[in-house]
Amino acid sequence: MAKNYFKSYIWLLETLQSRGPLTLAEIKDLWMRSSVNDEEKELATRTFANHIASIADIFGIDIVCDRRTNTYRIENDEDLRGTGIRTWMLDALTLNSLLNESASMRDRIIFEDVPSSHKFLTDIIRAIRDERMLEVNYQGFTMEVPRDFLLEPYCLKEYKRRWYLFARDHNGGYKEPHSFALDRMNSVTISEKLFKVRKSFDARDFFSTRYGVLQYDDAKPAHIKIKTTAHQANYFRTLPLHSSQKEVEKTAEYSIFSYYLTPNYDFIHDVLYYADDVEVMEPPVLRDQLHELFKKSLLNYE
């Protein structure tokens, strides 16, 4: 029954987002004609009220009634049109609900597996929401033995099929939010201890000059220009390397893109991936660094 209710929550959100505002009578009529209503039962008024309460609790999305028109709408509808966690969660659940209804399509829509999404993600999201600390046993790739951390979870980021938690070490090891990969966590427990995210913290600002997840204390953002072949430019236009990307020159043979970011390990190795389709033009120190890495790479094939 719980599973059916969950599908009902997704259906109600989708319906109000695409068709709303709607009266209760209109919602009940659409429910009777919905494929989600596999038992073909009417939507009871009490059940509808329970759905609204559950949606607010699970998704943090409020459905309100305009008493002037007796219509229902999503109050914080803008949260569903951005790129935040509610959008991601609702999109994922909506797709899952659609695939469950269309079993014949399951083998014809292929996803990349993100192994770390199976471990601890739900508990971490809850801890971020409730501003509760996390007791984490963690062993990074450079650690000889696991370590216990008491973390203040600030935000999550997915990067290259891995989930990363950015958190402050409550015991003082990391003053600024530091990345902890979920696939290197051995155990996660939500603590009873509460914390407060700094008022000055903004996740978008935090990542505005970062590339990927790595950040070094002595690394500074730089203005970068990259020249690409005309063919490769199409890929950069449709899927930018970074949020700061701007196309500053375009010809029939090539394009030049500018960025303002910290050229860390992740960025450098992504540029190497594009080989002769991409040339770093500025700054000279980064260009020289790429040149040396290409020469070292060639030695592996001699």
List the domain boundaries for the chain.
Answer: 2-101, 115-207, 222-299
Alpha carbon separation from 63 to 21, 51, 93 (Å, rounded): 10, 10, 18
Please count the CA atoms within 13 angstroms of the CA of 225 that sit on its side-chain side: 10
Which residues of the chain fall below pLDDT 50? 1-3, 83
Peptide bond into 283 cis (omega under 30): yes
pLDDT at 160: 86
Question: What pLDDT sits at residue 95?
Answer: 60
> What's the whole-model pTM score?
0.67
Residue 1: predicted pLDDT: 38
What's the pLDDT at 90?
Answer: 62
pLDDT at 94: 58
pLDDT of res. 43: 92
- CATH T-level fold of 115-207: SH3 type barrels. (2.30.30)
CATH classification of 2-101 is 1.10.10, yes or no?
Answer: yes
Cα–Cα distance measured from residue 219 to residue 216, given in angstroms and rounded to the nearest whole number? 5
Distance CA 157, CA 152 (A): 15
Q: CA gyration radius for the chain?
A: 24
Predicted confidence at residue 249, as pLDDT, reads 95
Q: What is the pLDDT of residue 195?
A: 94
